[in-house]
Every structure is written in structure tokens, then in C-alpha cells.
Amino acid sequence: MKIGNVENDLDNLELLIIGGGPAGLSAAITAGRHGVRTLLVDEGIRLGGQLVKQTHKFFGDEEFYASRRGFEIAETLVKEVKSLPTVSILLRSSVVGIYEDTVGIYDRDEEKVLNVDPDYILVATGASERFLPFPGNDLPGVYGAGAVQTLMNQFGVMPGERFLIVGSGNIGLILAYQLYQAGAEVAAIVEITDKVGGYEVHAAKVRRLGIPILTRHTITRAIGTERVKGAVIAQVDESFKPIPSTERELVVDVICVAVGLTPSIELAMQAGAELSYVPELGGHVPRRNERMRTTVDNLFVAGDLAGIEEATTAMIEGKIAALTITEEVKGLDLSEEIERLQKKLAIFRSGPTSEKVRRGLERMGIHYKGSSFDKVANVSGPKDRLKPVIECSQPIPCNPCETSCPVGAIVVGKNVNNPPRVDYKRCTGCGICATACPGLAIFMVQEEHTADTSLVGVPYELLPLPKKGDIVLALDRRGNVISQAVVEKVVKSKNLTHLVYVVVDKDLASNVRQVVMPEKKPQAYVCRCEDVTVEEVMEAIQMGFTDYEELRRYLRIGMGPCGGRTCSAVVSNILARATGRSPSEIPPQTSRPPSFPIPFSSLKGGEKNEA
């Protein structure tokens, strides 16, 4: 699909961007704003890359859409890039080869190859999912985590009912949460190392839903012949080899492999870029400098192709590459903006979660300094009014709690990796920070709600949304039910992270971190014609309806099409057991004509049709 006058732009093409994810879109917007004639090519049916299937809120800062959900970020970027007159877009198309004198683009709609000769090329092709060899990994029901997200979040297809996730990086943890939101069951997340690979806040919100994360475990084989029926997992030793005596089976119908990504280097390789094997960046990656230029002078890279990181760094890299290209195409000096973005990138990469990336970049001669971060002192705050309790001690690049606070009571500081601090003297207890937090790591607590109870507000992104007066189950940080609780109020948010406030015993205020609606058991029907359940019959008997005819008139039992043939005997037995009588003491229902339903028109009898 073509957007813009693609054919007319091919002869004077200044920039070809391959890949319409966060890096490619950011680059196209930056170049387009400066009037660079740009063609953006993507294989998908829509622009956005991985963003379009991400329903969770992103970390980072406001400039790069922190606290916005991935698909919303994609919508914003796509809208802007489509508004730029010098940017043309070619969807459902693949760059099939980069040659010395031309680039071949296969247009799947037209079934023809277009040849272009751009002045500059930016490759932003992202990465592909790593797979995992284990017996049975070719069975239907074994998916990459990204494939499940695509099916579920992009096309509304749930590929199974009970899932095993292999890998506890951010992708695996986010997928587990999204599956739970969609009503699926996650049997477990298994992680072969001794610690969770993703952010602690992602792991925490999964754990408090009761989803187990089993470290030092791996999958040994899938169970099934025609499709996945289960999986065998086992503990591993220090060499990551399964310990046979620890094997156990899980009943699942989908196995999601979330063990990392591999940079998609094929086109950069074809263009002649020098590659280096850098395991910290995901494997083989093109060598490039701080401005994203490769060893081929007019070839740039950005995003996961340049090293596996987050969407925020991909967007920054795309902007830096586009600004550098714009300088040379337009003869401008954009060094000030480039340096600003490079400093922002350095701050994002200064935290402990980016330590591996820093090591990888050092192999290319690109150096970033890490920073040390103090743990936030535990300040209790007031007990007699609502206050935010922030459970986010890991330094990660994120500050929406600070930027969303209307009174400036939360401080992260210049380095976006700093854990937040709360000034309770300024805090009004509004709860805006709790709805803005991408990690759902802020809880609202009033310890002294009454003499014996506390009020706890938990961030809630599940369906159905409780309402005031509902009885819910209060869960601790491990998903254990610790009490029932009454919903005091529900504060809805436009960003769909709502706050559900529950009243709990005072000694539970520091432990309640999730609430869920009680599971509704399948109904057992005694009268399918009138939808009368066993529970309704028992409730009526407890109300005093102990005669069959009384039950019949009250609940309409036996008044449907079957005339009681199906339900009368069942109801009589329930009534006998509930009242301690013998079935012989329960008279059968009175049978009245007609014995089965007939139309009123048939009751005219022998009247003749005079027409």
C-alpha cells in the first residue's frame, strides 16, 4: 500500500528508511520536518512495528511518551509521519536486496520490484525472536512470545487457554500480565538463571496475580502428538543442565518462548557494513559510531538492529541518525540538538539495568558511564490520611510519577533512573501518580481509616471493574488471598489504570497489593427452559417455599416448552433432601392441558374459514 506519491519521489530520493517501528518512525518524522525527501518502507500491514501490539504503559520520560501505552505511541507517531509532505510510505513491501547501484523493493500488492537509488539509507529492521530447541518444539501450540502478542492484541485471537512462558525478561513478564488481563491462565514462568531478567516492577505485578516465577528452571520437552497438551519442566544445576529427579509435568496448551531477540542484520550485511559479535547487544550487530553511522559512509542503523534495548533508546537513535543525515543533505548545523539527544541517551543508559548494554557498546569504542543510585529511605508518612506508597526501588529509566504530580511532591531528579522520593508534607493524596505509574508500583494507603480498619487503593487494569460495595478478594505480593474486602470507592482514569479502594483490617494495610473479583463458578441448571439454577431453588427453599407447587409458581419451574419433563423430578429430589423428607412425600407437579405448547390460533377448533 502506497501513502504519498511514491513513484514521483523515487528519482530524487534523499533518504530510504527500512522499517516502520519506533526507530524508523522517529527518523522519518525528524527528516521530514527538515524537508528531506524520504521513503519509509515496511513489511507490515500498518506502521508501528512492535508498538502496535503493546497494551502496557511505557517507561521513560515525557519527551518519549512515558506512561503512554505502546499502541497509543504508534498512533501518535504514524499520524505525524503521514502529515509530512516530503515523506512517502510503502507498506506490505520488503527490501529484497541492497546492491552497489540500487536497492530492490518488492511491492507485494503490485507484485513487482521497485528499484531506488537513495543518497542515504537508514536500516531500522529491528530483531527477530530467538527460538529454543527442545523435544516437541515443532508442535502446534509452541509460539514465540511476540507471535502470541500479535495474535492476541493485534488480531483478537487467543491461541489457547493455559500457558507456560519460558523466559522472565520484560517480554515474558509483560506477556504473562497481558494474558491474565485477557482471561487466560498462566501456569508458570520458568527462568533458567537464578534471577528474573526483567524489571522488578513487572515481576511484582505478575507475582501478585498469583503467577509463579520459577527461577533455575527450564522446559525439557513438550507433551503431545498433534498439538501441545502439556510441558515437562525441571530445575537446573550450576551448568544449566536439567536435574532429572526434579522433573514435573504441567497441563498447558500453549508454550510461549520468550528467551530474547536477535538483531535482523541481513540488509546491513548486504550493504557491506562491518559486523561484530557482541553478545551483550544480542549477537552480530553492525559496527557504528555514536551518530549511528556504520562503516559504510551513507549507511546508518538504529533500534534493535543496532543492539537489543528499549523502545525509548530506539526512538532516540532514530532521531540522531536522521539529524546527522539531514545535516549532510541540507548543509545544516544540527550538532546542538544531536548533542542534547546523546546526553539524554547517556542518562537512559546510566542505570544498572543498562550495564550489559554499556559493556557491549564499549566493544565498539562507544563509552557510557554508569551511575550509582542510593536506595530510598523508608519514610512512613502520615497515618491519618491517604498517601502514596511507592514500591519501586530498582533504578530504571522512568519518571511519570514525578511529572504527573500536580504539587511536585515526588522527585526523581535529573537522572531518570533515580528511584522516586516522596515529600509527604506537600502530598495531597490525590492518587494521580498511582494511575500514571507504568509499573503499577504505587499504592494509596490510609492506615487509620477507622479505629480498626485501613483504606488501601490498588492500581487496577482488569475486567470486570469492581464497584462500590462489592466484596472482593484481597491478595498479597505473592498472589495469596489474605482476606475479603469491601470496595469503598473506585476512581476511574482516562489512561485505564483505575484505583480500587478497599477497606481492610488495619494489620493488613502493608500487605494488600492486589484485589480480584471472586471467581464465579459455573451455574448448575435444573430448569433450562426458564434458566433456574440449583442455587436459586435452594435459596427459595430457605425462604420458606417448601412445597413443589409453591416453588413452581415462585420460580416458574416447569412452565417452559418441556412442561416439566426435564426438571420436575430433579426439583423434587432437591426439595426432599433439603427438607429431610422422602421423595414419596413430595407430590408430583400438577399436569394441566395442553401437555405441550400449541399456538393460540389452533384453539379455534372447528370454525370454518369463510374466506
Q: 3-state SS of 473-538?
A: EEECCCCCEEEEEEEEEEECCCCCCEEEEEEEEHHHCCCCCEEECCCCCCCCEEECCCCEEHHHHH
- 513 close to 205: Cβ distance less than 8 angstroms: no
Task: Supply the pLDDT for residue 501.
Answer: 98
Q: Say whether pLDDT at 91 is over 70.
A: yes
Task: Supply the pLDDT for residue 215.
Answer: 98
Q: Say whether pLDDT at 5 is over 70.
A: no
The lowest-confidence range among 26-35, 357-366, 503-512, 552-561 is: 552-561
DSSP label at 142? E
Where do runs of H (alpha helix) occur along 121-261? 145-149, 170-181, 200-207
Per-residue pLDDT of 289-330, as tens digits, reads 999 999 999 999 999 999 999 999 999 999 999 999 999 999
Q: Between 221 and 9, where is the model more confident?
A: 221
Q: Say whether pLDDT at 8 is over 60.
A: no
- 267 close to 254: Cβ distance less than 8 angstroms: no
Per-residue pLDDT of 33-72, as tens digits, reads 999 999 999 999 999 999 999 999 999 999 999 999 999 9
Q: Exposed, middle or buried: residue 35 (CB in 10 Å: 0-12, 13-18, 19+)?
A: middle
The lowest-confidence range among 164-168, 340-344, 535-539 is: 535-539
Q: Say whether pLDDT at 609 is over 60.
A: no
Domains of the chain: 2-127+263-362 (3.50.50.60), 142-259 (3.50.50.60), 387-516 (no CATH), 525-585 (1.10.10.1100)
Q: Rounded to 5 degrees, what are φ and ψ at 261?
A: -125, 155
Instruction: Work out the average pLDDT over 483-502.
Output: 96
Task: Supply the pLDDT for residue 379.
Answer: 76
C-alpha cell at position 188: 508458570
- 212 close to 165: Cβ distance less than 8 angstroms: no
Residue 539: band (very low, low, confident or very high) from pLDDT cuts 50, 70, 90: confident
Beta-bridged to residue 122, according to DSSP, are 17, 300
Task: Supply the pLDDT for residue 611.
Answer: 47
- 471 close to 486: Cβ distance less than 8 angstroms: yes
Beta-bridged to residue 144, according to DSSP, are 257
Residue 521: band (very low, low, confident or very high) from pLDDT cuts 50, 70, 90: low
Task: Supply the pLDDT for residue 562.
Answer: 81
Task: Supply the pLDDT for residue 374.
Answer: 76
Per-residue pLDDT of 420-478, as tens digits, reads 999 999 999 999 999 999 999 999 999 999 999 999 999 999 999 999 999 999 999 99
Average pLDDT across the chain, whole number: 93
- Is beta strand 471-475 parallel, antiparallel or unpaired with respect to 421-422? unpaired
- 143 close to 150: Cβ distance less than 8 angstroms: no
Q: Rounded to 5 degrees, what are φ and ψ at 317?
A: -60, -40
C-alpha cell at position 542: 430457605
- Is beta strand 162-166 parallel, antiparallel or unpaired with respect to 254-257? parallel
Q: Say whether pLDDT at 607 is over 60.
A: no
Q: Say whether pLDDT at 386 is over 90.
A: yes
Q: Say whether pLDDT at 80 is over 80.
A: yes
Please tell me the distance from the alpha carbon of residue 528 to that of residue 61, in angstroms, as a whole number: 56
Q: Say whether pLDDT at 212 is over 50.
A: yes
Residue 377: band (very low, low, confident or very high) from pLDDT cuts 50, 70, 90: low
C-alpha cell at position 122: 537508514
Q: Say whether pLDDT at 388 is over 90.
A: yes
The lowest-confidence range among 16-20, 275-279, 519-523 is: 519-523
User: Which residues 6+ apart lie within 8 Å of 192 measured at CB?
Assistant: 216, 217, 218, 236, 240
